[in-house]
Amino acid sequence: MIAIIDYGMGNLRSVQKAFETVGHQAVVTRDPRAIADASHVVLPGVGAFADCMANLEQYKLVEPIRKTIASGKPFLGICLGLQLLFTESEEFGIHKGLGILQGRVKKFPLGNNGSVPKNRGNGGRLKVPHMGWNGVTVERAAPPLKGINSGEHVYFVHSYYVEPQDKSVVATMTEYGLPFVSSVWRDNIFACQFHPEKSQAAGLRIVKNFGEWS
């Protein structure tokens, strides 16, 4: 059973439906016992970093997340669920994250017109949030990326990106005005800035691989 952590924010049903589509059982829950009993755990997320951290604390989910990761069971962070794993975010001030991975969540650098600098090979300026399909370059073949090749397109919706202190955790990179980390892998943790549940065939492959990861 895959536990999808419910802390009151995020497109939980679409994540659950993606797992069901590829044949994995998944439950949306904030029950610490259900999270502890699950074989795999997912932390999705949409919204503001500080609000999400406040909700995790309000629902007493920080400790279950830490215990899950320490136990060695596969853990998937999606979008804000990736960012929350890091030390801190500069979204609307400086806010502390879970600190499981060292590094900072940073905003895309904006020009005077509210867009990111000109992309290499792109004639125009790029809007923030970064929204839509973009390619990934595979740096390390994390188990959930089995069958995913460099150049594969996945779906993004975000204005901030992670900058890990330890570059060895980087699994994929993506270009959007600058090269940014689009997924990380360390031990039993895989976390991605893109939304696999919205990424059609490539995303479902990642979801299926994660459910089979042990």
> Which sequence spans correspond to the domains of the chain?
2-212
pLDDT in tens, 14-53: 999 999 999 999 999 999 999 999 999 999 988 899 999 9
Does 192 qualify as catalytic in the annotation?
no
The model's confidence at residue 115, banded by pLDDT at 50, 70 and 90, is low
- Whether 192 has a pLDDT exceeding 60, the answer reads yes
- Whether 114 has a pLDDT exceeding 70, the answer reads no
In a 3-state reduction of DSSP, which class is residue 59?
Answer: coil
What's the whole-number average pLDDT of the chain?
93
Q: Determine the average pLDDT of the residues in 85-101.
A: 97
Domain at 2-212: CATH code: 3.40.50.880
Per-residue confidence (pLDDT) for residue 196, from 0 to 100: 98
pLDDT in tens, 46-83: 889 999 999 999 999 999 999 999 999 999 999 999 99
- Among the listed residues 40, 130, 158, 195, the single catalytic one is 195
- Among the listed residues 52, 79, 91, 192, the single catalytic one is 79
Q: Determine the average pLDDT of the residues in 104-108.
A: 96
Q: What percent of the chain has pLDDT over 70?
A: 93
Does 195 qualify as catalytic in the annotation?
yes
Give the span between the Cα atoms of 26 and 16, in whole angstroms.
6
Cα 68 to the chain's mean position, in Å? 16
Per-residue confidence (pLDDT) for residue 123, from 0 to 100: 47
Using CA atoms in the order 122, 128, 130, 132, what is the torsion angle rounded to 10 degrees?
-90
